[in-house]
Amino acid sequence: MVAGRKSPPPQELSPELLLRAYASGIFPMSESADDPEIFWVRPEQRGIIPLDQFHISRSLQKTVKRAPFEIRYNTAFEQVLQGCAIRLDPEAGSWINQTIRQGYIGLHKAGHCHSVEAWQGEQLVGGLYGVSLGGAFFGESMFSHATDASKVCLVHLVERLRANGFKLLDTQFTTEHLQRFGAIEIPAKDYEEMLLPAILTPAQF
């Protein structure tokens, strides 16, 4: 990973600042939820899920077809953000501090940050959120309080991105979990060559 020097947080992570950062291939993180400072990250190996190579297991296909959740978009963004910030394992910590939280709430209000939500009745049981810029979607985080809830949200996210003309799904990093869906790592240089055409593609989430 290539990360910028840690620095005192600005007055705010404005939508304009965040969009400039994403267009440049960087994104903010913090050491912990209680750390007021942020740092900017540009991974040397970038995680993406090629939209034409996304795949799911047969068991997950059956779950999606069974439709155990009602999928909603952008109806409870701050609840999804909170769900992502609170880890089931307290020792794992969270990188979503107050500066980052307020920054993405502002970006959501500006129409560039979105949530995909899994509901059972009136209970939010899973979700994910990320940033859209042109035809690029930058996945940020996900959470699940019911079996397969976040996975089903990811399936619906990809379907929505495909239907709406998106060209890039950025996962920032890769994990064994994401690799099961087709996530790969590419060098930062290759990622940046993909980024500009994607963000110049007109697309609406």
DSSP line for 109-145: HTT-EEEEEEEETTEEEEEEEEEEETTEEEEEEEEES
| Among the listed residues 53, 56, 198, 76, the one whose alpha carbon sits nearest the alpha carbon of residue 137 | 198
Span 113-123, pLDDT tens digits = 999 999 999 99
Average pLDDT of the residues in 139-158: 96
205 in Cβ contact with 128 (< 8 Å): no
Tell me how far apart the alpha carbons of residues 28 and 14 are, in angstroms, rounded to a whole number. 12
Q: Which of 51-60, 80-89, 173-182, 195-204 has the lowest mean pLDDT?
A: 80-89
Per-residue confidence (pLDDT) for residue 89, from 0 to 100:
42
Say if residue 63's pLDDT is above 60.
Answer: yes
Per-residue confidence (pLDDT) for residue 78, from 0 to 100:
96
Span 92-108, pLDDT tens digits = 446 788 899 999 999 99
Domains of the chain: 15-200 (3.40.630.70)
pLDDT more than 70, % of the chain: 91
| DSSP category for residue 49 | -
- Report which secondary-structure segment, H or E, holds 59: helix 58-66
Say if residue 160's pLDDT is above 50.
Answer: yes
Per-residue confidence (pLDDT) for residue 87, from 0 to 100:
58
| DSSP category for residue 33 | T
Contacts of 160 (CB under 8 A, 6+ apart): 73, 116, 205
For residue 45, name the pLDDT band (cuts at 50, 70, 90): very high
